[in-house]
Amino acid sequence: MASIKHLFNEIHYEMLRKLAEGGMGVVYEAVQLGAGNFRKTVAVKLIREEFSAIEEFQKNFIGEARLVADLIHTNIVQTYHLGQVGGQYFMVMEFVRGVNLEVFIDKHRELRKQIPVDLAAFIVSRVARGLAYAHQKNDREGRHLNIVHRDIGPKNVLMAHEGDVKLTDFGIAKALDLMYNEEGKVIAGKDEYLSPEQANYAVTDARADLFPLGIVLTELLLGKNIFRSADRAQSRRNILTMPIPQFSTLRPDINPKLEAIIQKALTRDRDQRYQSAFAMLTDLEMYLYSDGYGPTNEKLGVYLKDIFGVTELGGTSVSSRPPYPTPLR
């Protein structure tokens, strides 16, 4: 950490603490320093030093930075800068002070409390909103980027304590001319959050993000991922073959409108699934708001403070597990 601090001090970043670490990368909380005592809290993501000279990792890292540079949306964590210092590439990102969905779900499990149905649907609707933007994104020449995130899961959804919901970590996304991709040879994503086409090594399109988004919704509602197994291969088999339950039998306050949304999102045949994140977003918002006032960022923010406590959320982290996902798996 000392050598990292020294390197970044030279380029006007004060490294505060490590937020997350994976096999190949690490994310820090940092302060960007500027003229006139300017200070801005940011997240700095970089390739670990021992991997920073490997061309494949560099290519993936640069590809992610180039991809997310123009993804400017309230429901996506923003990337500000790609740089290099001491032979290491680094990415400067928006710092989200709050929790990720994994921490949020675990807190409810600890309290033996269910997440309110409307807030679960609202959180997922905001992720769908971010995905709808990313999936429709064109490059500067007007070419459709065909972005597929491929890693939708609770760790990659952050919630600021004000109630803003943000999708992050496009590290294994695929996109036109930008991201490394070996579909058909390897599985990209976590076994218990795959779409059936990912689990089958098939080539994906944007619809592949909607099945795991349905999984996230059911996990928020039930407090567990019904497809997860201790055996990774069994998790994939569950994705492909396990009967999809009627979720209202597992939680009675899931009404028929929400049940229909879940069932459509978890349709294995992608031609029968939601055909776009925008369509799923529309149905979720119709469910949430057709009868009048529904959940908002502010309502979610108040709920987070009630669950975690104002003092917890007022600090840099509400948990020993930080809000950022493990980078560069």
Nearest-angstrom CA–CA distance, 41 and 163? 19
> What pTM value is reported for the model?
0.90
Is 164 noted as a catalytic residue in this protein? no
Structural domains of the chain, with CATH: 2-94 (3.30.200.20), 98-314 (1.10.510.10)
Per-residue pLDDT of the chain (329 residues; tens, 9 = 90+): 657 777 788 788 999 999 887 657 789 999 999 999 999 999 999 887 777 778 888 888 888 888 899 999 999 999 999 998 887 889 999 999 999 999 999 999 999 999 999 999 999 999 999 999 999 999 889 999 999 999 999 999 999 999 999 999 888 888 876 655 667 677 788 999 999 999 999 989 999 999 999 999 999 999 999 999 999 999 999 999 999 999 999 999 999 999 999 999 999 999 999 999 999 999 999 999 998 889 999 999 999 999 998 655 543 333 334 455 544 44
pLDDT at position 316 is 34
Query: Residue 197 has what pLDDT?
Result: 95
- For 158, list phi and psi in degrees, rounded to 5: -105, 145
What is the model's pLDDT at position 318?
Answer: 34
Q: Provide the 10 A C-beta neighbour count for residue 16.
A: 14
Evaluate whether 307 touches 299 at the Cβ level (below 8 Å).
no
In angstroms, what CA-CA distances link 40 with 35, 92, 157, 191, 226?
12, 11, 22, 37, 41
Distance (Å) of CA 29 to CA 11, 13, 59, 72, 93: 15, 10, 24, 21, 10
Question: Tell me, what's the pLDDT at 287?
Answer: 97
Helical H runs in the chain? Answer: 2-9, 55-69, 101-111, 117-135, 196-199, 210-222, 232-241, 256-265, 277-289, 297-308, 310-314
pLDDT digits (tens, 9 = 90+) for 49-100: 777 778 888 888 888 888 899 999 999 999 999 998 887 889 999 999 999 9
Position 23 scores a pLDDT of 59
Identity at 132, one-letter amino acid code: A
The pLDDT tens digits of the residues spanning 130-139 come to: 999 999 999 8
DSSP string covering 22-60: -SSEEEEEEEEEEGGGEEEEEEEEEE-GGGTT-HHHHHH
pLDDT at 200: 93
Q: What is the pLDDT of residue 196?
A: 97
β partners of residue 20: 27
Cα–Cα dist 115/303, whole Å: 10
Active-site residue (options: 70, 151, 177, 205): 151
The reported pLDDT for the residue numbered 179 is 56
Q: Which pLDDT score is estimated for 34?
A: 93
